[in-house]
Structure 1
């Protein structure tokens, strides 16, 4: 079992590094993320509730098992680097934010890495802060889920998982991968007899076989096809997301960047031929983040090896920025 890394409150494999970015001054009107994020130490964990905690999940193993292209393990560091330079508005200049370091999957030990991630997520939620996990392949999802499912905040509450994604990730494969996490969740919830709702915004019909649609129907999965998520469909997207929010007590938001058009997010394992416009992905994030029900959020599939001009990292950083700030106001 991985021991708590020196200087971190959580059991991680890599300690938090100093965030960097442009510095225009030290006054609040100059603040950027790199000027407000500090290491998440035991002392920080003991402080008053509130704030956001960044946590990396460096993993390619699930993507490789799912026959995708490697490179997502470098996603957390690329996303931190881009996010660090984003400016904070006057309203958000005093946001409390920490970095807890990175859980890294090595030697094909995906399941152990997911367990470590889950325990770290549980700790952050139980400290009454918002965990924001930076991936990594979408195998991140089952680790994040384990954390929110085990948290004190979840007890007796209906959990909703909203996935912004082109894929259901409900594969029946016996070996867990980036294509299986939501089936794993549904089976775990079914076995526990707990109240649970899974919804997906942006499903690509050509990217999901009929058996996956049949599985979605079996489990009562809510979904909206990508072709029904255009800018002209903004009201329909709003209704879908608010319907999810209204029907659950607690939400885990997971963003797979391959649900965005390839022109917006080229640096992913499986670029989308169609995708959901950034405007509507951002709308979904804003609605969830401001709902008061968001327990945890993760971002998956950033693959810097295939990015173009940092386009995917910039998109992901903007979404994380909005979720972090909206959740604290």
Structure 2
């Protein structure tokens, strides 16, 4: 079911000085017909895919925690921000239907010329997000769209969905969806942990032509080279769908996830790469996955996620 828009997380301090707005003072419920394009936040309150993947459940609480962490951040955007409410998943049997409802919501937001930012939720959110973008693109004319999927993640999430669909299968499902539509599959996965992905998954990534950079390869010395590779990937695509699994961050920066990373890619190295995606002019859709407040420590993970949204929405 679709929950009504709850604006209660949008609260915080108000400064008396001029030009001192914060997110909670600016975000408004999504109107029926937004007068000005902007970003639209939509929650995906679901962790059924995490449960199926034998991970630590609790990510269904992520959207609210992320809104609360974003609320007090300073406002530096030019365009508006809207809250488009939540898609709720009620138990294991509702997961696929919830992904379908998310797809409908994303499609509707794109039709209003908004940038959807989906707040997960487990990484099963990715299949729902992409399905919404696909639905939107199918409504248009022209050649097959070249959608680039950029996933910052410790995991490929390319497991075979024929066994069970979960938070570990969305990009394999997307690959199948592209094949059935006659679309190319352009997938980049950065921050991959070799310790957390089997040889079968690395082989599948190679078969699908995935751009792979492991966590240990993203260092200060190699950051420019990785950025150039990312630019080249973006250049081959018409649109970009950016998905951020918070377990790409080191466990010290993001303890509140389904599977904390022993190594990870620090926020200080992640942000410059995200700037390249943001500034490409091709960003059409964003989601963040795996925020699990039940295992967070002093809100570290929620604050990191909020900063990522803040960073991605600057200069617009």
TM-score (normalizing by structure 1): 0.91
Structure 2 portions without partners, runs of 5+: none
2:13 corresponding residue in structure 1? 22
1:166 corresponding residue in structure 2? 154
* Secondary structure in structure 1 of the residue aligned to 2:222: helix
2:107 corresponding residue in structure 1? 122
CA shift at 1:133, angstroms? 0.7
2:69 corresponding residue in structure 1? 82
1:101 corresponding residue in structure 2? 85
Q: Does 1:198 align with 2:187?
A: yes
- Please point out which of 132, 136, 155 is paired with 1:151: 136
Q: Distance in 2 between matches of 1:103 and 1:281?
A: 28
Q: Distance in 1 between matches of 2:282 and 2:138?
A: 10
Q: Distance in 2 between matches of 1:75 and 1:237?
A: 30
Structure 1 portions without partners, runs of 5+: 3-11
* Secondary structure in structure 1 of the residue aligned to 2:243: strand
2:49 corresponding residue in structure 1? 62
| Contact 1:63-1:69 at 8 Å conserved across structures | yes
Q: Distance in 1 between matches of 2:139 and 2:273?
A: 22
1:8 corresponding residue in structure 2? none
2:164 corresponding residue in structure 1? 175
* Secondary structure in structure 2 of the residue aligned to 1:42: coil
Bigger CA drift: 206-215 or 35-44? 35-44
RMSD of aligned residue pairs (Cα, Å): 1.5
Call closer, same or farther: CA 1:208–1:263 in 2, change over 3 Å: same
* Secondary structure in structure 1 of the residue aligned to 2:54: coil
CA shift at 1:272, angstroms? 0.3
Q: Distance in 1 between matches of 2:49 and 2:16?
A: 42
CA shift at 1:286, angstroms? 1.1
CA shift at 1:153, angstroms? 8.3
Bigger CA drift: 235-244 or 135-144? 235-244
TM-score (normalizing by structure 2): 0.94
1:42 corresponding residue in structure 2? 32
Call closer, same or farther: CA 1:101–1:26 in 2, change over 3 Å: farther
* Secondary structure in structure 2 of the residue aligned to 1:325: coil
2:280 corresponding residue in structure 1? 291
Cα deviation, 1:30-76, whole Å, max 9, x if unaligned, reads: 100011100012143xx24x210000001110000000001101110
CA shift at 1:237, angstroms? 2.2
| Contact 2:33-2:112 at 8 Å conserved across structures | no
- Please point out which of 38, 43, 59 is paired with 1:51: 38
* Secondary structure in structure 1 of the residue aligned to 2:275: helix
Q: Distance in 1 between matches of 2:7 and 2:21?
A: 19
- Matched residue count: 310
Q: Distance in 2 between matches of 1:53 and 1:296?
A: 10
2:222 corresponding residue in structure 1? 233
Cα deviation, 1:102-160, whole Å, max 9, x if unaligned, reads: 00110321000000001100111121110011111100000000011111488532000
Q: Distance in 1 between matches of 2:108 and 2:312?
A: 20
2:310 corresponding residue in structure 1? 321
Call closer, same or farther: CA 1:313–1:154 in 2, change over 3 Å: farther
Q: Distance in 2 between matches of 1:152 and 1:199?
A: 20
Cα deviation, 1:229-268, whole Å, max 9, x if unaligned, reads: 0222211221222122111010000000001111111110
Bigger CA drift: 170-179 or 265-274? 170-179
CA shift at 1:26, angstroms? 7.6
Q: Distance in 1 between matches of 2:70 and 2:139?
A: 29
Q: Distance in 1 between matches of 2:113 and 2:286?
A: 14
Q: Distance in 1 between matches of 2:68 and 2:229?
A: 33
CA shift at 1:201, angstroms? 0.6
Q: Distance in 2 between matches of 1:154 and 1:318?
A: 34
Question: Which runs of structure 1 show a deviation greater than 4 angstroms over 4 or more consecutive aligned residues?
Answer: none
CA shift at 1:16, angstroms? 3.2
